[in-house]
């Protein structure tokens, strides 16, 4: 294996340690990942924009700090792929939409700034479903990303580009956002770790809003420890975000370094399995539950009866909030502007611009949300959905009186073919069946790989849910699962999988 390939296969924790010890420079790491992107992204299509020069400049800054004897952060010099929904002053922010094509923000998101301050090297901006609305990345105005396990399959969504970049070894770290499962679902189908922190634990300032009461930034990585390190780096109170929690960051890194489930009470959610779930998904999920028992966890079944109403409630709440948030894209201040020539009114310019700039799924959700918020229907639709949301929160509260964490499959199926559900919105929405309850309640959740489905050899995700601000419990369970399964395999999950879909062959051909 070439030296560059060795660099891209290290974990983020290993990369940071190597940079701190002077064994490799941040510039070398960055160049190795930029080369990997150049050679493989023609197939994967994970990135919308690669900022090679800003990335190399950030890497040189880390190397200069080290040479000067200044302390480095836990992830200094490590490359990262950033979902194209966060504002960045040195790269465009498009949200996967034509209406923002080429827009250069005048400020960095809080999360972007925290990454820069931590010495993390941002390689570029990743593809996504337009304004984070979708479960497959097929709703991007710039074309779909592809799953590195099989290039004919979706990488999940809406953070599909971020997940694909990590799974393809283009970056060891990525940031996504989770509104209805948009970190955990792509994490599961790409065979990587995806974390939704407690709502308010990571800042939304500079995150272009889809649904403000739901949107949560979080990590996508290849290992549980890497996720914990990134989780800690982006967390903490932000006075610029009115929903930011002014509370200590849970000890996620300590939990990931010392995972222990002995005596932990684990609840299997009865409503999140059964009909509609692929047999291979249930097989791997049940095996992982049994594994936790062998590690000393106390497993019991728990009923959360209102979880069955989470999907319809979500598809009233999220579209209502998106209808309000996307009203700002009016062609008057920034972004696309259609119809200046020969158009009589500002209203016509707005109408033409929105008709051209927004894709079909965004238009669908805006119309649903506008209807649900309209006079005479607000109480019947949006109001009732919020009442269901309260019942789901109460289900979680009752469950967490009995157990320490809840578990379920992350998704009902493995990755599906590109185009298979494009014309069937309900089938697409069902991909988020297991993940939506945690978004509605605001509690923490993680997806960790738990093996391959026997029928197709594709990754299966194991979801762990914890109470609000008990994010460290996620890492106790996920870390224990990861360690036990890696010990059985004799290698890390993605280390075994590297080379799928011919990506390494692409790299060799490029040389």
Residues 178-215: tens digit of each pLDDT: 999 999 999 999 999 999 999 999 999 999 999 999 99
At 334 the pLDDT is 84
DSSP letters for 443-456? -EEEEEEEEE-TTT
| Pairing of the two strands 298-302 and 216-221 | unpaired
| Pairing of the two strands 265-269 and 216-221 | unpaired
Q: For CA atoms 428, 432, 434, 436, give the dihedral sign.
A: negative
Q: Which of 107, 17, 89 is nearest to 51 (CA)?
A: 89
CA–CA gap between residue 339 and residue 249 (Å, rounded): 49
Residue 124 belongs to domain spanning: 3-260+407-501
Which conformational region is residue 275 in: left (phi greater than 0), alpha (psi within -120 to 50 degrees), or beta?
A: beta
Does residue 185 fall inside a structural domain? yes
* 130-181 pLDDT, tens digit each: 999 999 999 999 999 999 999 999 999 999 999 999 999 999 999 999 999 9
Count of C-beta atoms within a 10 Å radius of residue 297: 24
Does residue 58 fall inside a structural domain? yes
Question: Do 479 and 259 form a contact (C-beta atoms < 8 A)?
Answer: yes
Confidence of residue 274 (pLDDT cuts 50, 70, 90): confident
| Pairing of the two strands 265-269 and 298-302 | parallel
The whole-number average pLDDT for the span 376-381 is 92
CA–CA gap between residue 182 and residue 156 (Å, rounded): 8
Does residue 297 fall inside a structural domain? no
Cα→Cα distances 174→86, 145, 195, 293, Å: 12, 15, 11, 32
| Pairing of the two strands 79-83 and 121-126 | parallel
Least confident of 58-62, 319-323, 485-489: 485-489
Q: What is the pTM of this model?
A: 0.96
* 442-497 pLDDT, tens digit each: 999 999 999 999 999 999 999 999 999 999 999 999 999 999 999 887 766 666 56
Does residue 306 fall inside a structural domain? no
At 347 the pLDDT is 87
Rounded (10°) angle between helices 310-325 and 384-402: 130
Mean pLDDT of all residues belonging to the chain: 94
CA–CA gap between residue 211 and residue 471 (Å, rounded): 22
Domain count, the chain: 1
CA–CA gap between residue 390 and residue 441 (Å, rounded): 8
CA–CA gap between residue 280 and residue 459 (Å, rounded): 10
Environment class of 177 (CB within 10 Å of its CB; exposed 0-12, middle 13-18, buried 19+): buried
Confidence of residue 1 (pLDDT cuts 50, 70, 90): very low
Does residue 329 fall inside a structural domain? no
At 509 the pLDDT is 45
Does residue 402 fall inside a structural domain? no
The whole-number average pLDDT for the span 89-113 is 97
Does residue 147 fall inside a structural domain? yes
Count of C-beta atoms within a 10 Å radius of residue 267: 22
Q: Which of 315, 310, 316 is nearest to 271 (CA)?
A: 310
What are the residue numbers of the active site? Answer: 83, 158, 182
The whole-number average pLDDT for the span 492-511 is 57
Does residue 352 fall inside a structural domain? no
121: CATH:
3.90.1300.10
At 490 the pLDDT is 73
At 510 the pLDDT is 39
Least confident of 99-103, 247-251, 403-407, 506-510: 506-510
Confidence of residue 2 (pLDDT cuts 50, 70, 90): very low
Give the neighbor-by-neighbor strand order of the sheet with 193-196.
47-50, 121-126, 79-83, 173-178, 216-221, 193-196, 444-452, 459-466, 405-409, 265-269, 298-302
């Amino acid at each position: 294996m070439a030296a560059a390939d060795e660099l891209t296969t290290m974990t983020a924790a290993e990369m940071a340690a190597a940079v701190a010890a002077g064994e490799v420079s941040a510039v070398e790491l960055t160049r190795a990942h930029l080369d990997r992107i150049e050679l493989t992204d023609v197939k994967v299509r994970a990135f919308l924009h690669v900022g090679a020069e800003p990335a190399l400049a950030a890497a040189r800054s880390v190397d200069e700090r080290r040479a000067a004897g200044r302390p480095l952060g836990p992830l200094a010099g490590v490359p990262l792929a950033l979902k194209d929904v966060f504002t960045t002053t040195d790269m465009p922010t498009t949200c996967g939409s034509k209406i923002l094509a080429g827009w250069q923000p005048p400020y960095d998101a809080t999360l972007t700034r925290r990454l820069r301050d931590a010495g993390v090297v941002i390689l570029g901006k990743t593809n996504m479903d337009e304004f984070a609305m979708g479960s497959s990345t097929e709703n991007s105005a710039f074309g779909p990303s592809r799953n590195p396990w099989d290039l004919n399959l979706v990488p999940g969504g809406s953070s599909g580009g971020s997940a694909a970049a990590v799974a393809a070894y283009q970056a060891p770290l990525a940031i996504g956002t989770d509104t209805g499962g948009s970190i955990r679902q792509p994490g599961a189908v790409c065979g990587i770790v995806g974390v939704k922190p407690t709502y308010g634990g990571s800042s939304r300032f500079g995150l272009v809003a889809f649904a403000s009461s739901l949107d949560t930034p979080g990590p996508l990585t290849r290992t549980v420890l890497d996720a914990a390190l990134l989780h800690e780096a982006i967390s903490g109170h932000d006075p610029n975000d009115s929903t930011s929690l002014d509370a200590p960051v849970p000890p996620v890194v300590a939990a990931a370094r010392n995972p222990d489930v002995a005596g932990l009470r684990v609840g299997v959610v009865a409503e999140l399995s059964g009909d509609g779930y692929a047999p291979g998904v249930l097989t791997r999920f049940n095996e992982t539950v049994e594994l936790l028992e062998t590690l000393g966890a106390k497993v019991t079944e728990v009923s959360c009866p209102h979880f069955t109403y989470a999907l319809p409630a979500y598809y009233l709440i999220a579209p209502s909030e998106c209808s309000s948030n996307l009203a700002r894209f009016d062609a008057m201040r920034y972004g696309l502007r259609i119809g200046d020539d020969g158009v009589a009114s500002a209203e016509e310019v707005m109408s033409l611009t929105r008709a051209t700039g927004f894709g079909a799924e965004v238009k669908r959700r805006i119309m649903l949300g506008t209807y649900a918020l309209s006079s005479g229907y607000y109480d019947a639709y949006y109001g009732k959905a919020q009442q269901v949301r309260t019942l789901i929160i109460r289900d979680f509260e009752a469950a967490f009186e009995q157990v320490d964490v809840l578990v379920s499959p992350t998704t009902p199926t493995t990755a599906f073919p590109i185009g298979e559900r494009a014309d069937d919105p309900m089938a697409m929405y069902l991909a988020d069946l297991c993940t939506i309850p945690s978004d509605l309640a605001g509690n923490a959740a993680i997806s960790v790989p738990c093996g391959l489905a026997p029928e197709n050899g594709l990754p299966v995700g194991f979801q762990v849910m914890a109470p609000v601000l008990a994010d460290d419990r996620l890492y106790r369970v996920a870390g224990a699962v990861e360690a036990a399964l890696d010990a059985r395999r004799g290698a890390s999950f993605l280390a075994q999988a590297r080379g799928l879909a011919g990506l390494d062959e692409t790299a060799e051909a490029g040389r």
